[in-house]
Amino acid sequence: MNEIIYHIDPAAEDLKDPVMIVGLPGVGHVGKFVADHLVEALGAQKIIEIYSEHFPPQVIVGEDSTVTLVGNRVYLARTEKTDILILAGDSQSTDPAGHYSLCETYIGFASQFKVKRIFTLGGYPTGVVNAENYVIGAVNNIEIIESLKEKGIKFNPSEPPGGIVGASGLILAFAKFRGIDAACLMGTTTGYIADPQSSKVLLEKLCGILEIGVDFASLDEKIKDMEQIVEKIKDSVNGEEFEEYGDRYATDEDLNYFG
Amino acid sequence: MNEIIYHIDPAAEDLKDPVMIVGLPGVGHVGKFVADHLVEALGAQKIIEIYSEHFPPQVIVGEDSTVTLVGNRVYLARTEKTDILILAGDSQSTDPAGHYSLCETYIGFASQFKVKRIFTLGGYPTGVVNAENYVIGAVNNIEIIESLKEKGIKFNPSEPPGGIVGASGLILAFAKFRGIDAACLMGTTTGYIADPQSSKVLLEKLCGILEIGVDFASLDEKIKDMEQIVEKIKDSVNGEEFEEYGDRYATDEDLNYFG
Amino acid sequence: MNEIIYHIDPAAEDLKDPVMIVGLPGVGHVGKFVADHLVEALGAQKIIEIYSEHFPPQVIVGEDSTVTLVGNRVYLARTEKTDILILAGDSQSTDPAGHYSLCETYIGFASQFKVKRIFTLGGYPTGVVNAENYVIGAVNNIEIIESLKEKGIKFNPSEPPGGIVGASGLILAFAKFRGIDAACLMGTTTGYIADPQSSKVLLEKLCGILEIGVDFASLDEKIKDMEQIVEKIKDSVNGEEFEEYGDRYATDEDLNYFG
Amino acid sequence: MNEIIYHIDPAAEDLKDPVMIVGLPGVGHVGKFVADHLVEALGAQKIIEIYSEHFPPQVIVGEDSTVTLVGNRVYLARTEKTDILILAGDSQSTDPAGHYSLCETYIGFASQFKVKRIFTLGGYPTGVVNAENYVIGAVNNIEIIESLKEKGIKFNPSEPPGGIVGASGLILAFAKFRGIDAACLMGTTTGYIADPQSSKVLLEKLCGILEIGVDFASLDEKIKDMEQIVEKIKDSVNGEEFEEYGDRYATDEDLNYFG
């Protein structure tokens, strides 16, 4: 089963300098937090739903006890200078081949809407706690590096050393095949826990690139929540309280803080 | 290999207010016990057989030494007020994608027979021993919650926190795509062993919803069997007797009490 | 890649009361030893080669340093009363779905050659060392049990309790769909090591059923080899010698004695 | 997604006595080092790119921060006597069935370019440290053994005992189906770490067979690097330094020395 539900007709839409943002679950949920926050902060409208047998065979139960099939969604936010497509959602592929199939689908949306620039968002695990957060980049076109450096993105040779796994990487490669410029922006993070602080730094850089302003309130709330969790962890010697808090948060908001 | 064998013609049948019950193997076999019991207690007739390469490559050997291919089956029970289709059987999909494929098949049966309501049955693992059994629900249409609450089904926000995995969840989502109201009814259970007691509580609620009466004799027998097993487990310090009993029961009746 | 190479034309052949024997790798290699021995002892001719992406991606290197792709083969042995098709080879499917696909292929051969009886051969792990070997059966048609009992096959209710996994089981089920009588004959074995002794007992029973006589020499040799290996294992305290012997045998004759 | 990008037209090319060399990642990276070295030393031109959903869903980040999709490539080196196709790249299939699919693709290239001889390269793990390196062979045509022996390739009965897994083996089998002579040449190696020394010995033999001369400089450099690493390992008691060096090298040159 692969099902795409369009709420608007890509052929009929004439978007203004369309850019696509991709923030799916991954390292520290850094990318997912940014995409989800953008959807909320910009009041973006859901325009496409994607369901696939490559996602886990699972439904999510909402606050009102109604179920939602695990899937990803494309949202459209119309801002002054640019129209922003945001790909966000619940899951990446459960099998290697599914990543290829799904990313073909995603890049197809970019083509349909005549997107000229794509930014995939992710976390870059450093293993270092309490380090300063920054954003490193990788691109599918060497010519866009300079402009991103000007906006504060760092570029280090052959970094990340293990390459980029999953949608954040594949979309760059597939975009190149279609002649669409794309960059992967990765917020540094410990790699151990969900990291809304890294997401905030990444979001600030992204806003600079897109020349948009967004409210950071709900992200700041997540950061405070995580700080309290981490404080509790430090107080707890045997780690049992950690687990308890993890569960509370995981269930609280459909977000796995310990992904 | 995917093979569907119809013993009756869905197009030719005109069912009375048809409802579909789904009880496949899962947590504590809570749903499977209820479906199997309903088939027996209502004298339901086997109308469809489903075989699939997504099931384990395995045959079951019966009392008479003849083999049966692992598969699922749809039974039809004609009761006074309503005609009940019961989906029961040996297995769920062995791979994630197979769940999607099989649930498409299952929901296709619901469409063919013009089913208007579906109840998928399962267990809800609480990890708590000796707690009172109750039934929690999740739905694909918020409008059916009230009527289920009246019948004693509990609804808790975002519960189960991990969502619903497998056929019990997917069928709700697929039913929604086809405009069929569906609820998942989950009997609370420890999650450690097969739990016919939870099945009985779930069956009682289901009978109330369907306005049918069934004999509970064979389910009561299973409960007594399990109580004896648990008693033995308590007596046994090193757990070796446990295993021995588990084996006896597993082979006795083609039921895995320790699923 | 699925490739079937026919060395004879099934449509053009008119076999005499054709029966099919299936002996593929499995528990204790009991079935494989019997099929391989029959091919040799009856001077059977290779008539079909089966290669498939469901087999391991591997070639075997022979005595003469030439490679053979992992696959299965059908051999034809013409005896006085009956023509015997023997399915033997290197592997079963590496994935669950592949078993279904391959067994469809195998049963297709049975149909093409108008086979009326199939015997799949396997081992039945008892976990008991030094027990007397016997052969238990399961069938796809209750009517053939009596005649098999007369030939010394035992039938115990619901045994094996875990059913029959893989080709030995599926072929029975698929044969039933095509109206071909089939039995699975399982030689009891410890389940820990390759067991040519169990294979010999199974072969004796099979010869009685097929009313053929075969030389047991090469199987007796394998039995003597295994007895020496087991003796060495008993002498060895730390088990290191065991490994050494296992290696020698595994490489010696392309047979894994410790499967 | 399976995508083949041709930079030249196989049908239009008329190669001189074309031979194909296959050196993909595997045991000790012995074959990969040789193929990569040949591409560089012979100034071979990239003529085909192969991308596939059977490869890991991953991009590699280069020195200049641009990404490259994981894939394999065919290079063409024109030498005096013979035109050499070199299949080299980043990965083998991630799933068993993918090996079959990809090797069909690879053998298709050999057919398109009318290749008459194929040499697949690999490592043969002996588990022995500091042993003398030699090259053993396996073939798909017994008639080519003598000429390879004359060039210093050893042939031992049924070696490697476990057969040949992956592209190096399958390509031999598939080549046989198409009537193309092929040999697998395996450099002995410990099996524990990347082994450029084994690659050098293998390359020397291969150059003898192909009657070509190549510069060994960059391979000698890799050997020296590895000697230093191994020396450090010996000095280090707790093995922590080992890891550190491994990381440096893995990231340094997009080569995993510890594959």
Judged by CB atoms closer than 8 Å, whether chains meet at C164 and B58 is answered as: yes
User: Could you tell me which chain C residue has the CA closest to the CA of D95?
Assistant: C57
Digit-coded pLDDT (tens) for B222-256 = 899 988 888 887 777 454 444 433 333 333 333 33
For residue D218, pLDDT over 90 is answered with no
pLDDT tier at A95 (50, 70, 90 boundaries)? very high
Tokens of A171: 């979309």
Per-residue pLDDT of chain C (259 residues; tens, 9 = 90+): 679 999 999 988 899 999 999 999 999 999 999 999 999 999 999 999 999 999 999 999 999 999 999 999 999 999 998 999 999 999 999 999 999 999 999 999 999 999 999 999 999 999 888 789 999 999 999 999 999 999 999 999 999 999 999 999 999 999 999 999 999 999 999 988 899 999 999 999 999 999 999 999 889 998 999 888 888 877 774 544 444 333 333 333 333 333 3
Tokens of B119: 């109840």
Mutate to test the interface with D, among C61, C99, C102 (most CBs of D within 10 A): C61
Judged by CB atoms closer than 8 Å, whether chains meet at C96 and B57 is answered as: yes
Predicted pLDDT of residue C256: 37
Question: What average pLDDT score do residues D167-184 get?
Answer: 98
Mutate to test the interface with A, among B91, B164, B181 (most CBs of A within 10 A): B164
Cβ(D185)–Cβ(D144) under 8 Å?
no
Digit-coded pLDDT (tens) for B13-32 = 899 999 999 999 999 999 99
Cβ(C85)–Cβ(C152) under 8 Å?
no
Mutate to test the interface with A, among D5, D49, D67, D92 (most CBs of A within 10 A): D67
Residues of chain D with C-beta less than 8 angstroms from the C-beta of A139? 65-67
Closest alpha carbon to C45 in C92, C90, C78: C78
Pick from D1, D61, D69: CB nearest A101: D1
Whole-complex ipTM: 0.89
- CA torsion, points B188, B189, B190, B195, in degrees to nearest 10? 170
Pick from A3, A56, A67: CB nearest B140: A67
Write out chain B in H/E/C secondary structure: CEEEEECCCCCCCCCCCCEEEEECCCHHHHHHHHHHHHHHHCCCEEEEEEEECCCCCEEEECCCCEEEECCEEEEEEECCCCEEEEEEECCCCCCHHHHHHHHHHHHHHHHHCCCCEEEEEEEEECCCCCCCCCEEEEECCHHHHHHHHHCCCECCCCCCCCCEECHHHHHHHHHHHCCCEEEEEEEEECCCCCCHHHHHHHHHHHHHHHCCCCCCHHHHHHHHHHHHHHHHHHHCCCCHHHHHHHHHHHHHCCCCCCC
Closest alpha carbon to A74 in A107, A99, A98, A50: A50
Distance CA B139, CA D93 (A): 42
Tokens of B76: 């039809």
Digit-coded pLDDT (tens) for B157-204 = 999 999 999 999 999 999 999 999 999 999 999 988 899 999 999 999
Q: What average pLDDT is seen over chain D?
A: 90
Pick from B59, B65, B247: CB nearest C170: B59
CA angle D51/D57/D62 to nearest 5° reads 80
Question: What average pLDDT score do residues A182-199 get?
Answer: 94
Does the beta carbon of D122 lie under 8 angstroms from any beta carbon of chain C? no
Judged by CB atoms closer than 8 Å, whether chains meet at B65 and C155 is answered as: yes
Touching B (3+ Cβ pairs <8 A), the chains are A, C
Predicted pLDDT of residue C257: 38
Digit-coded pLDDT (tens) for D24-43 = 999 999 999 999 999 999 99
Cβ(D190)–Cβ(D129) under 8 Å?
yes
Q: State the residue for tokens 């090259």.
A: D135
Query: How many Å is the Cα radius of gyration of chain C?
Result: 18
Residues of chain C with C-beta less than 8 angstroms from the C-beta of B66? 138-142
Does the beta carbon of A144 lie under 8 angstroms from any beta carbon of chain D? no
Digit-coded pLDDT (tens) for B76-110 = 999 998 999 999 999 999 999 999 999 999 999 99
Distance CA B164, CA D209 (A): 62
Cβ-based neighbour number of residue A81 at 10 Å:
11
Residues of chain C with C-beta less than 8 angstroms from the C-beta of D177? 3
Predicted pLDDT of residue B218: 85
Between these two residues, A12 and D54, which has the higher pLDDT value?
A: D54
Predicted pLDDT of residue D128: 87
DSSP conformation class of A64: T
Question: What average pLDDT score do residues D65-71 get?
Answer: 98
Percent with pLDDT over 70 in chain A: 91
Distance CA A114, CA A104 (A): 15
Residues of chain C with C-beta less than 8 angstroms from the C-beta of B56? 96, 165
Touch between chain A and chain C: 3 or more Cβ pairs under 8 Å: no
Tokens of D108: 């298709």
Dihedral of alpha carbons C207, C208, C213, C214, sign? positive
Kindly report which listed range (A22-36, A140-154, A177-191, D237-251) carries the lowest average pLDDT score: D237-251
Judged by CB atoms closer than 8 Å, whether chains meet at C62 and D155 is answered as: no
DSSP conformation class of C62: -
Distance CA B8, CA B73 (A): 13
Tokens of A196: 């809304």
Predicted pLDDT of residue D243: 43
Digit-coded pLDDT (tens) for C203-251 = 999 999 999 999 998 899 989 998 888 888 777 745 444 443 333 333 3
Between these two residues, D217 and D110, which has the higher pLDDT value?
A: D110
